[in-house]
Amino acid sequence: MTPRCSTASDTIALPVRDALTALAVQAEDRTGYGRTKFRRWIDADRDGCNTRSEVLIEEAVTGPHQGANCALTGGSWYSPYDDTYFTQARALGIDHLVPLAEAWDSGASAWTSAERQAYANDLDDARALIAVSAAGNRSKADQDPTTWQPSAIGYPCTYATDWVAIKTRWSLAIDPAEQTAISEILDTCPNAPIKVTLAR
């Protein structure tokens, strides 16, 4: 199936397995990578809340109180990686679903600093940044689905589908082992349609 594109040619919608097949496949290269290549947690809209806080506010199950300098108190959150609820924001990490290092390996090494900053703070696609347990965030680190998958039963299909969506959104490649791992997950899942607004 070919993508159904919007008039502006910036949005595609197609089954996830077709989206996976459409991704460029190439070997990864981490040469030159450093987390400082991606400026994180900016306050893009200058409302006093940086990207981390914006994700916590958006994904809260019970909304937190927002104090001075966007200090968050109260509230509750659900970590889909490990099927756990939290009531303290400091117990959570904000995970880049497709890690910064993985993005670098897959094409971001050729981006401008502004493009890498936009990737690191992507609030325009809710799949890009996700509030998860700090332990889950540390466990995943910069791994891809070849070596890490969420422990929560029932979440791997969402994880693999969202991984493909973000790689599609940012025109990132996959390596052969990553393609195989994702394909094996998706073989157990519905061929769900994804809709992606291209970022570049």
pLDDT in tens, 62-87: 999 999 999 999 999 999 999 999 99
Q: What is the mean pLDDT of residues 94-105?
A: 98
Question: Taking a C-beta distance cutoff of 8 angstroms, is the pair 37, 102 a contact?
Answer: no
pTM beyond 0.85: the answer is yes
- Whether residue 37 is predicted with pLDDT greater than 90 in this model: the reply is yes
Q: What is residue 200's predicted lDDT score, i.e. its pLDDT?
A: 83
- Whether residue 8 is predicted with pLDDT greater than 70 in this model: the reply is no
Question: Taking a C-beta distance cutoff of 8 angstroms, is the pair 78, 62 a contact?
Answer: no
